[in-house]
Amino acid sequence: MTGDPTATPAVLPKKAPQVDLDRTRERLTRLGLLHAAERLGEHVATAAKETHPPHRFLDALLEAELAARDERRVRTSLKLSGLPTGQTLGNFDFAFQPSVERSRIETLATCAWIRERESLLLQGPPGVGKTHLAVALAVRAVENGFSVAFHRLEDLLAALKRDADVHPVRLRQRKHMNVALLIIDEVGFEPMSRHEASLFFRLVSYRYGRGSILITTNKGVAEWPGVLAGDRRSSSGGSLSWCEPGGPRKSWRRSSSRRRSQSATGWPRLLATTATAKTV
Q: How large is the average pLDDT for residues 4-31? A: 70
pLDDT tens string 168-178 = 788 888 999 99
Distance of CA 129 to the CA centre of its chain: 18
Residues 6+ apart with CB under 8 A from 132: 87, 92
pLDDT tens string 227-267 = 887 655 444 433 333 333 333 332 223 233 333 333 333 44
Evaluate if residue 20 carries a pLDDT over 80: no
Q: How large is the average pLDDT for residues 138-159? A: 96
Residues 6+ apart with CB under 8 A from 39: 61, 64
206 within 8 A of 176, measured Cβ to Cβ: no
Q: What is the mean pLDDT of the chain?
A: 79
Evaluate if residue 9 carries a pLDDT over 70: no
pLDDT tens string 202-214 = 899 989 989 999 9
Evaluate if residue 31 carries a pLDDT over 50: yes
86/277 Cα distance (integer angstroms): 22
Q: How large is the average pLDDT for residues 51-58? A: 88
Evaluate if residue 163 carries a pLDDT over 70: yes
Kindly indicate the confidence band of residue 54, based on its pLDDT and cuts at 50, 70 and 90. confident
pTM of model > 0.75? no
Kindly indicate the confidence band of residue 14, based on its pLDDT and cuts at 50, 70 and 90. low
Kindly indicate the confidence band of residue 84, based on its pLDDT and cuts at 50, 70 and 90. very high
Q: Report which secondary-structure segment, H or E, holds 247.
A: none
120 compared with 96, residue with greater pLDDT: 120
Alpha helices in the chain (DSSP H): 22-30, 34-38, 40-50, 54-81, 102-108, 112-115, 130-143, 153-162, 168-171, 175-178, 194-207, 224-227, 232-235, 249-259
**Three-state DSSP state, 18:** coil
Q: Name the residue among 225, 226, 247 with its Cα closest to residue 234.
A: 225
Kindly indicate the confidence band of residue 48, based on its pLDDT and cuts at 50, 70 and 90. confident
